[in-house]
Structure 1
């Protein structure tokens, strides 16, 4: 029996090692390739090279506008993350703290939207922002930051994420705060947000990566 358990444990560790290697190797290969020239990469070299500075210089002076593109991506991701965390946390807090049948049904309908793939929304979003631009609304048409940020500032997943984590928020604290005279805004900003720091951190990572 002990031998069988030892064999099973060995197989589990072997599987985890192989799975970890498959997951980590692409990142390792990417870092290695950044330090080698094209000839060394094509030859399959798996050791660090001495061409990192040269490759970095070629990237920024290749005419691809990599610097501005990287800056725009970082700015859009940062703005999207801040707005998404604020809006989704307020929505998740409201759905859980102020529950009733109507809000529960609205939340269930909201969850259904998670089943709709983004590719099914691309054409409607394109038509909507195109129409907004043609209507003369400055800064919200196609090829603007607004059209890239808006679709991600309030996602069903992030609202669900905050709502589920709000379940662990101690409700007794809310009652005590209300008795002491705090309004809902102060309860949210002075009590809820500090307690839910880990939830905000996880949500920030998820949102920044997807935006």
Structure 2
């Protein structure tokens, strides 16, 4: 009996240590909505290209600026939704939204993402457009893997998938648009649904 209690105490201590070192209030619903935003944004970009460029993406002038605005709005909506739902979930469980763990999570997520974003802007300025979708997927995947040390470990699997899709996209740049939809749209919805049923539904 004492042995069982001892093992139970160790398990509880380990669980508490894990929770204290990881930010676990991420919302699966935010992943689903991010995927939906990406699909809507992709549909708008596709319509702009087909309507005004005869199916050829001209990365300068009005169409380019509209497509970039479209991408910015998708990213902004995804971030704001994630912050809102994560804050709501944290308050529901009495957890702190901004502590040392969440700060480490944000820093580790942003380092690859910011570096990747700056690099993409540099090559776009040099009119090297072919690998943009692949680079977005790979740097985003690296950011997820890097941040997974301080959050729900399952997000690293989404990161691995994004990296793999990004590498495939680099090999087949002609399919960049559709692979971007697969990575940022469909995979976010699949991942968010899985996380919702695994972590959110029963809480």
Structure 2 length as normaliser, TM-score? 0.28
Give the structure, 1 or 2, with the largest relative contact order (CA under 8 Å, sep 6 or more): 2
* Structure with greater helix share of residues: 2
Structure 1 length as normaliser, TM-score? 0.28
